[in-house]
Amino acid sequence: MTNALKDRSLAASPRASFTETLGRIKNWQSLGLLIVLVLFYVALSLASPLFLTVGNQLAILQNAAFFGIVAFAMTLVIVSGEIDISVGSMAALSSSMLGVLVVKQGVPFFVAVILVMVVAVAFGGLTGVLRSYFGVPTFISTLALFLALRGLAQLLTNNFPMPIPSEAFFYWGTGKLFGTIPVAAVYFVIAAIIIGVVAQKTVFGRSVYAVGGNAKASTLSGIPVRRVKIVVMMISALAASVAGLLQSAQLSSGNSTIAMGLEFDAIAASIIGGTVLSGGKGTIVGTLIGVVFIAALLNGMVLLGVNPYAQQVVRGAVVLIAVLVNVWRTRRAPIS
Amino acid sequence: MNHVILKCRGLTKRFGTVTALNAVDFELHRGEVRALLGKNGAGKSTIVNLISGSLTPDEGTIELDGQKVSWSGPRAAQAGGIAVVHQEFSLVPGLSVAENITLGRWPKKGGFVDQSELKAMARKALARLDVPIPLTAEVGLLPLADQQLVEIAKALVDEPQVLILDEPTSALNTHEVNALLALIRRLAATGMSIIYVSHRMKEIPLVADSLTVLRDGQEIGTHDVANISSDQVAELISGEDKSASDVTKRDRTAAPAVLEVRDIKVPHRLGGVSFSLHEGEVLGIAGLLGSGRTEMLETIFGLRDDATGEVLIKGQAQRRRSPRKMLNLGVAYTSEDRKGSGIVPLLGIAENLLLSARGRVLPKFWLRSREEAKIVDTVMNSMSVRASSPQQEIGTLSGGNQQKGVIGRALAAGMQVLLLDEPTRGVDLHAKAQIYGLIRELADSGVSSIFVSSELEEIAEVCDRVLILRDGLVHEELIGSQGTAERILALAMRQENNK
């Protein structure tokens, strides 16, 4: 702070904190989304008596956990102005690597998990470096990895599941804390909190928003734009890897065919949650709602016996509608 | 010459409570070149937009060749005989010259583009300019001056009766400017009427028959160019005779140098510039567009790989400069491109202010909301940023408040040296005055600034010392009250007269 400013600093005007809070709630973008979600829940529970049972809700949570962790990281990626479509293949590679390392190579379990994550982060770093230093759009590099990593996973396992006989591993994937709460749900909540706090409360997190909002301005303001993008891609890869390990635990095997379409659900949840595809805007809370919405939608459609092919159509339509609503809403926003 | 082609009566346009144009009469004769002059915000673009159908007047009438017209939009005005060449190019870089000239009017034959007809149209338009630009060349690969010509040719396709040129020379060098001015005279000789909007006073007598001065939305006067001196014009534009401003300029050259620049060279732009900036000094860099001003600031801030030369901060030579490194040394840069490289539009004003502070005067990892609120409050108060709350998205604020946000970012981070590139571009008069005041006050507290601007009047007003940059070299230095607007203008233009 310069002296001139200190001298001129007026007594801080008492900010009307109550009206401000009220205004914030009114303008809270996720509020409308939350209402839609509640209405959706009401509709589904009316349509199917099974929907609102504890068991079913826990099942929704279990599924939500799997792609939710990836969706949170994806929100950071999209906010930073990038995209990651390699997450499904990254999850499959992680699962396959774990199977090969543990079953074929006899690597200790814990070490294998660490190794898998390190490889994932390295791939994330690769797309980040390609983006930051060589100008390769992440859409292209992760599209390449989308194919290549899946292929690598299939090469490693010959496309056969590799059973991992471990009670403990199975528990860490499908067990229930205190007999009721799925362990996966705990990961989900922890991931939401960690990434949410990173996004809102750390210099890095706010830098992600600045970089996605205007990379040039961020550079001139001294934000390490390249580094931020690389780290974001690493976080995304790590999250995908965790999702892959989680899925492996649920299946008790290393498997190269898991997580097909994971990228779609993760991106869709972000977009439904209000993340702007061109970057600079989006919240973890919004994505959390988006994740629950998609998980409930998938679950509800199964309960109602919707034709599986028709389910795909519905999923696609929902994303399209979400984008249209976002565009419509931003266009209505007052621009002085 | 006596036939009136365009006749505006009592044109008035209001935006909310602001009257941008107030009962302006405007008459243009066939074959006349009329210069339209005025400060930013005087109403030049408003009247241009009214005549060319981008805006509709609240009151008043427009007659074209005796017919009352009321355009439904720019396309209608264009079809009706009024063409505009805007300051910003509207060319598609990847398309050919011919395709660009005929853009939006591509002739079709059996569902396909009729290439030969298209080329004929383009050739005809270019022929009026009498310039040799190949029709098949890719526009993006042409030099800027040629792109400007393509832009004009595009406006000529519909054979307009009135052609409006908005700052057509702003991106051109001296030689190119002269060629363009001659071309405008040729067009006028064929009976076309031209409205010429420009800031460059020197061009007016070379190209215009008459001039109209606007100030605060009013027409101040219309004169034949032959009957008025440039001093009189300057007075009409500013609305005050040039009495000394109330800023006390100081000679700070005895104070220690905080920034020294030695023999900076940028290929084709700067040919070896050296100077030093002293503590608490406001150093103005005056020069025409393309004189290398921006490149110089970019070089200091570490944004150019093609630059050579030395930059010293407090006596220490700084090699391998980068924005991060310079900010860590207390040097900040604000770009002339506020939208593109200044603000992060979707973030709140508070977050925009804090971008450089975080990790410097604030911790590197966690946010400190209380300290941040304090800094934001201080900066917003001292700069009188007007926003509904610190969370309001900066993209929704006025240009002046956005600019305060960008400069405030440097203050929030405790910067000691400010490199300000056109800090008042697109900012209203009130905000301008506030920005000048702020820069002076910072100087009093020991902050040094380099102030780059195309508006020589403001350089004269704000700066302790002025360097005249011409064709990539520092030619003169004016200290304190030597730096009057007239003197600066004369020196900045000197080269042009020699050629």
| Residue A161 near residue A92 (C-beta atoms within 8 A) | no
Length of chain B measured in residues: 499
Look at residue A282 and give its three-state secondary structure: coil
pTM for the model stands at 0.80
Strand ranges across the sheet with B316-317: B270-278, B257-266, B308-313, B316-317
pLDDT at B491: 79
Q: Which residue in A has a C-alpha nearest to residue B419's C-alpha? A: A220
Contact B343 A222 (CB under 8 A): no
Q: Which of A24, A214, A227 to mutate to test the interface with B (most CBs of B within 10 A)?
A: A214
Contact B442 A281 (CB under 8 A): no
Pick the residue with more confidence: B402 or A170?
Answer: B402
CB-nearest partner of A220 from B333, B382, B391: B333
Structure tokens at A159: 């496309």
* Burial of B1: CB neighbours in 10 Å, binned 0-12, 13-18, 19+: exposed
Q: Which of A18, A20, A221 to mutate to test the interface with B (most CBs of B within 10 A)?
A: A221
Question: Could you tell me which residues come within 8 angstroms of residue B60 by beta carbon, excluding any fewer than 6 positions away?
Answer: B8, B9, B10, B11, B12, B23, B24
Sign of CA dihedral B123, B129, B130, B134: negative
pLDDT at B176: 81
Q: In angstroms, rounded to a whole number, what is the distance separating the alpha carbons of residues B497 and B448?
A: 34
Instruction: Using an 8 Å CB-CB cutoff, list residues of chain A that contact chain B.
Output: 1-10, 12-13, 15, 20, 23-24, 201-204, 206-207, 209-210, 213-214, 216-224, 276, 280-281, 334-336
Structure tokens at B117: 């007809």
CB-nearest partner of A336 from B344, B396, B445: B396
Q: Which of B343, B378, B436 to mutate to test the interface with A (most CBs of A within 10 A)?
A: B378
Contact B344 A210 (CB under 8 A): yes
Q: In angstroms, rounded to a whole number, what is the distance separating the alpha carbons of residues A39 and A41?
A: 5
Mean pLDDT of A244-263: 93
Q: Read off the pLDDT of residues B16-63 as tens digits, 9 standing for 90 and up.
A: 777 889 999 999 999 999 999 887 668 888 899 999 998 899 999 999
**B residues 317-336 near A, CB within 8 Å?**
323-324, 327-328, 333-335
Residue B441 near chain A (CB below 8 Å): yes
The string of DSSP letters for B49-99 reads HHHTTSS--SEEEEEETTEEE--SSHHHHHHHTEEEE-SS----TTSBHHH
Q: In angstroms, rounded to a whole number, what is the distance separating the alpha carbons of residues B28 and B162?
A: 9
Q: Which of B18, B258, B341 to mutate to test the interface with A (most CBs of A within 10 A)?
A: B341
Q: In angstroms, rounded to a whole number, what is the distance separating the alpha carbons of residues B473 and A178?
A: 77
Residues of B with CB below 8 A from A280's CB? 344-347
| Residue A225 near residue A215 (C-beta atoms within 8 A) | yes
- How close is the nearest chain A Cα to the Cα of B212, in Å? 31
| Residue B69 near residue B58 (C-beta atoms within 8 A) | no
pLDDT at B456: 80
> What number of other Cβ atoms are within 10 A of residue B384's Cβ?
16
Whether the per-residue pLDDT at B497 is higher than 50: the answer is: no
The string of DSSP letters for B233-292 reads HHHHHHSS--PPPS------TTSPEEEEEEEEEETTTEEEEEEEEETT-EEEEE--TTSS
Query: Which segment of B79-88, B243-252, B315-324 scores lowest on mean pLDDT?
Result: B243-252
Contact B442 A1 (CB under 8 A): no
What number of C-beta contacts closer than 8 Å exist between A and B? 132
Q: Read off the pLDDT of residues A161-206 as tens digits, 9 standing for 90 and up.
A: 999 888 888 888 888 888 778 888 899 999 999 999 999 999 999 9
Q: Which residue in B has a C-alpha nearest to residue A280's C-alpha? A: B346
Residue B380 near chain A (CB below 8 Å): no
- How close is the nearest chain B Cα to the Cα of A284, in Å? 16
Alpha-carbon B16 to chain mean position: 25
| Residue A169 near residue A252 (C-beta atoms within 8 A) | yes
Q: Residue A293 — left, alpha, or beta (φ > 0 → left; ψ -120 to 50 → alpha)?
A: alpha
Map tokens 């060589």 to a residue: A134
Residues of A with CB below 8 A from B297's CB? none
Q: Which pLDDT band, with edges at 50, 70 and 90, does B179 fall under?
A: confident
Q: In angstroms, rounded to a whole number, what is the distance separating the alpha carbons of residues B234 and B239?
A: 8
Residue B56, CA distances (Å) to A257, B26, B79, B160, B161 in order: 62, 16, 16, 20, 20
Q: In angstroms, rounded to a whole number, what is the distance separating the alpha carbons of residues A90 and A120?
A: 7
Contact A214 B343 (CB under 8 A): yes
Q: In angstroms, rounded to a whole number, what is the distance separating the alpha carbons of residues B209 and B34?
A: 6
Query: Which segment of A9-18, A165-174, B383-392 scores lowest on mean pLDDT?
Result: A9-18
| Residue B183 near residue B131 (C-beta atoms within 8 A) | yes
